Structure 1
Amino acid sequence: MSTATLRQKLFELFRADRAPAGYRPGVTLERLRRNLGLEKLEVEGMPFEIVERTESQLLMHVVMTEFVLRVPALAGSTGSFEVHHGGAIRRHGIRVRRRAGNQALARELQAQLVADDALFQALMPLDFKRLRIELQGQQWCVRLEHMGGSEVVNRLPAFRRYIALSPMQRSHLLATLAGLKRVLSDL
C-alpha cells in the first residue's frame, strides 16, 4: 500500500465531519424535549431552539445539546463573550471573558449579569458547560450548553446513557434564558 493511499485511508477514518458510529440523529433532542415538558420552545414569548452536536472520542461519543436564544439588540455592533462561574472549587460569582469586540461592552455585560438578581440567582446553581453570547449587528445570540440533556454512547463495553435535566436544573435553565432575554434586550 502506498503512503498516499495509507494517508487517505487514515484521513477518512478520523474525519471530523463524519458522524460517529452508533449516532442516532434527533433521538437525544426528542428525549430532552420530553424532559423539558414544554409545549412550545419559548421563554417570555421569545422562541428558542435546541440543536445537538456530537463530540467523538476513542471508543465513545457524546451527544450534547445547545440552547440557542436570539434577542434583538438596541445598537448594532459585534462581539463575542464567554460566561463562566468564578472560583476553582466553589462558585464565586459570574465572569464574562471577551473573545472579540469592545472591552467596554464586556464590562457592561458583566455588570448587567450581576445586577439582575433573578438572573444571577438562576445562573449560580446552573450546571452549564459553555455559555457563549455573541453580538452580530442588531442581534444577540446566546448559546448555552447544559451538562444535562446529553447522551453518552460507549462502544466497548457497549452502553448508552441519557443524562436528564433534573427538575431543579430545568427551572434554573428556563430562568436563565428568561433573564438573558431581559438583560440583552436592554443592551
Structure 2
Amino acid sequence: MSASWLERLSGPCAPAGYRPGATLARLGRNLGLADLPAAASFAYRKDGPRIEVRERTESHLLMHLVMCEFILRVPASGQGTLRAELHHTGMLRRSGLGCRLRGGDPLLFEALEARLATLQASLMPLDFQRLAIECRDGQWQVILEHMGASEVVNRMPALRRYIPLSTEQRHHLWLAFDALACALRDL
C-alpha cells in the first residue's frame, strides 16, 4: 500500500538518485584511505585528532547536493555554551575571516574570537562552505563542510559530478584541524 500524500510531504526522505556512501567512498580515495563507512572516524596521523566524516544531502528543484561534513570534537577546559559560525570576508577576494555569534555566552565568544585571530593563517587558504563551532556539555565541536568532497546530481539533464578534495586542500584541512584542536583545548 502506498503512503498518502500527507505522509510523503511530512516525512524526511532521501532525494531521488541519492546513493548513500558513494561520496564517502570517493572521499576515502582522495584521502588515501581504503574505505570510509557511512559514519567514519579516523585520524590522519598517529598523534593527530580524530575526525568524523558524514554525508549531508541538500535538495533543490530537479537536483540535489551531497556534501561531506568533517567533525572535530575536543574536550573543553571551561564551562559554558556557545554557537558560532565562521565565514570568509571580502566580496571578490578573501580579505579575512568573520565570526558570528549564533547563541550562547558572549564572554566565551570574545575569547573564541581572540583565539581564532591567531589561527587566521591556517584557516584563510581553506575552501570551506560552512564552519560552525559549538561548545556544550564540556565539549567543543567543529563542523566543517568543505567545497570539495561533494557531489552534484541533476535530474534534468541527467548529470552526476563529484568535486574532489585536492591534495593542497587536504593539506590545508589537516593544518586547520591541528590548529583548531590546539586552540580549543586550552579555551
TM-score grouping bracket, smaller chain normalisation? 0.7 to 0.9
Does the aligned pair in 1 maintain the 2:48–2:178 contact within 8 Å?
no
Structure 1 or 2, whichever has the larger Rg, is 1
How many residues of Structure 1 are paired with residues of Structure 2 in the alignment?
Answer: 176
Task: Output aligned runs, 1:33-112, within 5 Å.
Answer: 33-38=28-33, 41-42=42-43, 44-112=47-115
Name the SS for the 1:32 alignment partner. Answer: helix
Q: CA deviation at 1:47?
A: 0.8
Q: Alignment partner of 1:76: what SS?
A: coil
Any idea what the Cα deviations from partners look like across 1:158-187, whole Å, max 9, x if unmatched?
A: 111100011111111111111110100010
Bigger shift: residues 63-72 or 96-105: 96-105
- Cα deviation, 1:37-92, whole Å, max 9, x if unaligned, reads 25772254321110101111111110011000000000121110001112222212
TM-score, length-normalised on structure 1?
A: 0.87
Inter-partner Cα distance in structure 2 for 1:57 and 1:102: 35
2:5 aligned partner, one-letter code: K
Q: Percent identity?
A: 53
2:150 alignment partner AA: S
Structure 2, unmatched stretches of 5+, are: 35-40
Deviations 1:86-109 (A, max 9, x none): 222221222211111111221211
Q: Aligned in 2, Cα 1:180/1:38: closer, same or farther, shift over 3 Å?
A: farther
Q: Kindly indicate whether the alpha-carbon contact (under 8 Å) linking 2:85 and 2:130 is maintained by their aligned counterparts in 1.
A: yes
Change (3 A) 1:18 1:182: same
Give the aligned partner of residue 23 of structure 1: 18
| 1:48/1:68 contact within 8 Å kept | yes
TM-score, reference length from structure 2:
0.87
